[in-house]
Amino acid sequence: MTHRSGLKAIVHFPFLLLALCPPLFGTDPKMPSGDPVVGERIAKGIAFEGRLWIRGTMPTPREAAGGLISLGIKDNSRLVHFDRGVLDMARSDHDLWILRKEQTGNRYAVAAWKANRFEDFAEFQLAAEDAPVALLDDSGSPVVLSRKTVRYLAADRSWRVVELKGKLRSGVQVSVASPQSGGDIYIGFDVGEWGGGLQQVNVKTGTVSDIERRDTKQLCDGPLNRDCDPVTGVIRDPQNKDCVLVSVGLVHLFHSDGRILRVCGSRVTVVSEVVTSKAGEDKWRETEAFYGLAPSDDGGFWAITWRALYHYDRGGNREKECVLPKLESVSGIHLSRALPGAIVLQTDLNWAVSTSGYTPLVVPLEKAQP
């Protein structure tokens, strides 16, 4: 039995096995159970204007969208901005945006952080069967991807709408990015034990395509297989203007599998794997599971696993490895600022669909001003 097909066989064990596996990224049991607004299910973090912005998530994305808080990076001061209703957040070079749901109906708004408050500046309505998927930046303007459309905000604050041709998948965690050259949106889905994979949306035509690479006919062979590979991060490739970088990571019953990929159109290549155990007659090959990617201010990027934070240069060469430090509790948020250039957060988001336990998120710090 090969490593990948063996992993697939394990995946189909009863899900009650979740209770048998302790967290890999554990916490002090004396610490609070989580922030009272965002809890422990943290979906995203962004550093902006000296604060760490943290969005939580809840099981149903419409009526129970998550809350939003911010922590002062230097003084730990805590502000609650929304206790629910925030579906996503994104930043450009100069702005921080959120996508939020109005209290009634199927109306949504994009708001920007201005003068110490969020101000709505673009609204829209979706059909009852539609739902937002992600908010992202397009050359300084917000873009909203929903299950049926892509919306681009014009200079006059009107929306240019492109209808999708094809069906988007879903996941407990969704990552999105466009390459530097634009033209496409890549969406990564994390469904833990059940894979997730990657899709591509052409921004002109709305065509939805599945992006995969299966080198053999083995059940779970990859390196990018939607049935077995949860995509945990997507960022634009700093070196290749037409490409994105993708992280894959899954820990199941103490077996770990992961890699970093470069995706250019439909072409998928492996950038990096951290091999922890080679395949043998009695064991499977193991690699560290990557739980996220983030750009760094030197033009490279960060990649995080349950054990370490790695720094890569623009070309995807691994330059530095930092073992993850012990986390501290700040308003129930477990984090560390001990590593240069990045903040590490803890979330149990992945635990909803895998035995990975608590897993880390990496949030790059803002580039220092000259």
pLDDT tens-digit readout, 103-151: 888 899 999 999 999 999 999 999 989 999 999 999 899 999 999 999 9
211 vs 264: CA distance, rounded Å? 10
Q: CA 186 from chain center: how many Å?
A: 12
124 CB contacts (<8 Å, ≥6 apart)?
107, 108, 109, 144, 151, 159
Q: pLDDT band at 178, cuts 50/70/90? A: very high
- Burial class from Cβ neighbours inside 10 Å (0-12, 13-18, 19+) for residue 114 reads exposed
Residue 284 reports pLDDT greater than 50 = yes
DSSP secondary-structure letter at 67?
Answer: E
Select from 130, 46, 38 the least CA-distant residue to 86.
38
CATH number of 3-20+35-363: 2.130.10.10
Q: Is residue 65 helix, strand or coil?
A: coil
Integer Cα distance of 79 and 245 in angstroms: 33
Tokens linked to 19: 């209770």
- Rounded to an integer, the average pLDDT of 219-235 is 95
- Who wins on pLDDT, 27 or 224? 224
Contact 302, 311 (CB under 8 A): yes
DSSP category for residue 289: P
Q: For all residues of the chain together, what is the average pLDDT?
A: 87
Give the pair of three-digit tokens for residue 4: 């990948």
**pLDDT band (50, 70, 90) for residue 262:** very high
Which segments of the chain does DSSP mark as H helices, in order? 3-11
> Coil, strand or helix: which one is 173?
strand
- pTM comes to 0.89
Predicted confidence (pLDDT) at residue 229 exceeds the cutoff of 90: yes
The answer to whether 190 and 174 are in contact (CB under 8 A) is yes
Between residues 281 and 146, which one has the greater pLDDT? Answer: 146
pLDDT higher than threshold 60 for residue 283: yes
How far is the C-alpha of 41 from the C-alpha of 319, rounded, in Å? 31
User: Residue 5 has what pLDDT?
Assistant: 44
Contact between 362 and 294 under an 8 Å Cβ cutoff? The reply is yes
pLDDT at residue 155, rounded to an integer: 87
Question: Could you state, in order of their start, the residue ranges of all structural domains in the chain?
Answer: 3-20+35-363
Q: From start to end of 279-358, where are the E strands?
A: 286-287, 290-295, 301-305, 308-312, 318-323, 328-330, 333-336, 342-347
